[in-house]
Chain A
Amino acid sequence: MNPVTEFAIEAHDIVKTFNDGKFTALGGVSLQVPRGEVFGLLGPNGSGKTTMVRILSTILAPTSGSATVNGHDVFKESDKVRKSIGFAGQFAAVDENLTGFENMRMVGLLNHLDKKFVEQRAHELLASFGLTDAANRRARTYSGGMRRRLDLAAALVASPPILFLDEPTTGLDPQSRQELWNIIENLVESGTTVLLTTQYLEEADRLAKQLVVLDKGKIIAQGTSSELKAQLGNTVLVLTFQSPTDATKGAEIIKDISSKTLNIEGTVVEMTIDKGPSSAADALRRLDASGIELSGLIMREPSLDDVFLNLTGHKAEEVSPSAPTKGRRTRKVRS
């Protein structure tokens, strides 16, 4: 029934403006999501990732651009697209007055599936998501993690080949987050394609094979998470000073060792360095010569947090500032 296409999702130059063009949520975003893997849309609040997912899942019409999902045109064949996708939004959209089972049943019937099949499938999914005991309790009584699992289970009731997850673990405790990650990994193992948005770099790093980094409605980087890290250099030098004043002074002394952004937070200075040990030794010699004492030193692999900081000049958890503070550089990465 479904045309076999190389990519599960292809989007070309998607633009979305609000308020009669006064606000641009997406300024021309193109994506190619291969089948059977997790593709991550990474970015802070307001970067446009939710808008992108809503457009691809037919919830929202774009201002311009084209896209196919499972080989179907998102705008001309939206009903076929809806039959190919599961969608779990930011809010864990469960009906609190219905039980877990009734929620599943409702979504299954609205997917136009056979009633008996829906009921059987609902029990299976509730069981595999650890919700059997809570199946006949109202969702109002569920914890945040249980709601998310129910929401995800409901998105899977029609066994869609493509799944959209908009910030699936926002607001969850570490254990629930871990559980949800395991569920997503199992789904991908069984062949599902997942397009996931997140503002947690750890999550993108753990789950997504390929990543697109969005900032203010534009793609600022894309590639695998190791590609993104590789172009940053190999090592991050983390220096802890005895006072914030020392940290500021020290940063001034060592900042030209690396061309990458340097970040000061209190007494801690983080710097991505190109040449590992020799750059680190250089930094230490300079600090020693100037008489500033260190209280700690760590060298570590760069995280996606570092990538984000280098690309945007601000951290991922912060809302994009209207004017970049410092060292803003936009890089092109091979896709």
Chain B
Amino acid sequence: MTMTTPVSTRSAFRWAISDVLVLAQRNLIALLRTPVALVFSIIQPIMFVVLFRYVFGGAIHTGTNYVNFLIPGILVQTTIFGSVSTAIGLAEDLQKGLIERFRALPMARMAVLAGRTISDLSRNVLVLVVITSVGFLVGFRPGGGIVAYIQASLLMLSFAYALSWGFAFIGLAAPTSEAAQAMTFPLIFPITFASAIFVPVQTMPTWLQGFATNQPVSVTAEAVRGLMLGTPHGSTSYVSLLWALGAVVILGPLAVRKFRQAIK
């Protein structure tokens, strides 16, 4: 070709960052342009807030004001549900041939996964702000202070972000986006409901308590609740961070490996 094409002068690392941002931006544009999906991802947690605050809440005894127990839990649940969209988004890109196209481009290999998980993280930030506001409307009054509140938010966002690498793996393994969604359901349902998110685990049967107390979602919920309310929460915030770190270390490479094998 006679036409001259400007050649890049940036380093490989700077281009990798640029690739991630280009793809994250693309995903966020898609999110803003499908308002139904965005509204649904906000309405669902609002319904949970209303359901547990006004329907089930009266029957749940936590020894404190239940709304203060509930909102930190709902926030953790919402961010975990939010990370499921990583699976759906990747499965869709795979199905529509976009991942095939990306793989023939001279872009950073990990940018597709990083771009997707980062845009889902941004969405989680938005949802978190909305649900916090809804929480205040229904009487949520955290006493832990603003710094602890931000710490708690970062903690649950990190946890959800770590999980999204596992959901990336599922999204790349699933034949369609509908299948990806169906495959995530039996995973997130038990870990969010057999947990300390909605009720104190002490009320559960003994055989379930061991799991419900120690599984990472409960640990994260306890840490987030403790930080937000300014109540003692032991070492749970560190344990939650360790879970997140462990998840990234194990699930990250699995997702990357699946990404390499995803096209046949």
B105 and A102 contacting across the interface, CB-CB below 8 Å: no
Binding site for A on B (CB under 8 A): 1-3, 5-6, 8, 10, 15, 18-19, 22-23, 26, 29-30, 33-34, 96-98, 100-107, 111, 263-264
Show the binding face of A for B, using Cβ within 8 Å: 18, 54, 57-60, 79, 82-83, 85, 87-93, 95-98, 102, 106-107, 109-114, 117, 138, 154, 158-161, 164, 190-192
B97 touches A93 (CB 8 A): yes
19 A-B pairs besides A59-B100, A112-B107 with CB distance below 8 A are A59-B104, A60-B263, A87-B100, A91-B100, A93-B98, A93-B101, A98-B26, A106-B22, A107-B101, A109-B18, A109-B19, A109-B22, A110-B105, A112-B18, A113-B5, A114-B6, A138-B33, A191-B2, A192-B1
Residues of chain B within 8 A of A158, CB atoms compared? 5
A54 & B100 in contact (Cβ 8 Å cutoff): yes
B3, A159: Cβ atoms under 8 Å?
yes
CB <8 Å contact, A98 and B106: no
21 A-B pairs, CB-CB below 8 angstroms?
Answer: A54-B263, A59-B103, A82-B104, A90-B97, A91-B97, A91-B100, A93-B98, A95-B98, A96-B96, A98-B26, A98-B29, A102-B26, A110-B19, A110-B107, A111-B106, A111-B107, A112-B107, A113-B6, A117-B5, A159-B1, A191-B2
From B99, which residue of chain A is reached at the shortest CB distance? A93
Q: How many residue pairs, one in A and one in B, have C-beta atoms under 8 Å apart?
A: 93
Bound state CA distance, A92 and B3, in angstroms? 26
Q: Is chain A's binding surface mostly helix, strand, loop or mixed?
A: loop
Q: Which 4 pairs, one residue from A and one from B, show the smallest C-beta to C-beta distance?
A: A91-B97, A93-B97, A87-B104, A97-B30
Taking the nearest CB of chain A, how far is it from the CB of B111, in angstroms?
A: 8
Check if B26 sits within 8 Å of A117, measured CB to CB.
no
Most buried by A among B3, B19, B101, B102: B101
**B30 A98 Cβ-Cβ under 8 A:** yes
CB pair B6 A117 closer than 8 Å: yes
B residues in contact with A138, CB < 8 Å: 33
* Interchain CB contact under 8 A, B96 and A93: yes
Q: How far is the CA of A88 from the CA of B97 in the complex (A)?
A: 9
Closest to B264 in A: A18
Which listed residue, A60, A79, A161, touches B106 by the CB 8 Å rule? A79
B1 contacts across to A, CB distance below 8 A: 159-161, 190-192
Q: Would you give the shortest CB distance from B51 to chain A, in whole angstroms?
A: 32
Q: Are A110 and B102 in contact (CB under 8 A)?
A: yes
Q: A102-B29, A110-B107, A113-B8 are in contact. Are A93 and B19 (CB under 8 A)?
A: no
Chain A residues lying within 8 Å of B101, measured Cβ to Cβ, are 87-89, 93, 107, 154
Query: Which residue of the partner chain B has the closest CB to A86?
Result: B104
| Contact, CB under 8 Å: B30 / A95 | yes
Q: Which residues of B contact A111 (CB under 8 A)?
A: 105-107
A98–B96 Cα gap in the complex (Å)? Answer: 14
B8 touches A57 (CB 8 A): no
User: Chain B residues with Cβ under 8 A from A79's Cβ?
Assistant: 106
Smallest Cβ-Cβ distance to B103: which chain A residue: A59
The listed residue (A58, A95, A114, A117) touching B104 by CB distance below 8 A is A58
Q: In the bound complex, do residue B98 and residue A107 qualify as a contact, i.e. CB atoms below 8 Å apart?
A: no
Contacts of B111 in A (CB 8 A): 110
A106 touches B106 (CB 8 A): no
Q: What is the distance, in angstroms, from B32's C-beta to the closest C-beta of chain A?
A: 9
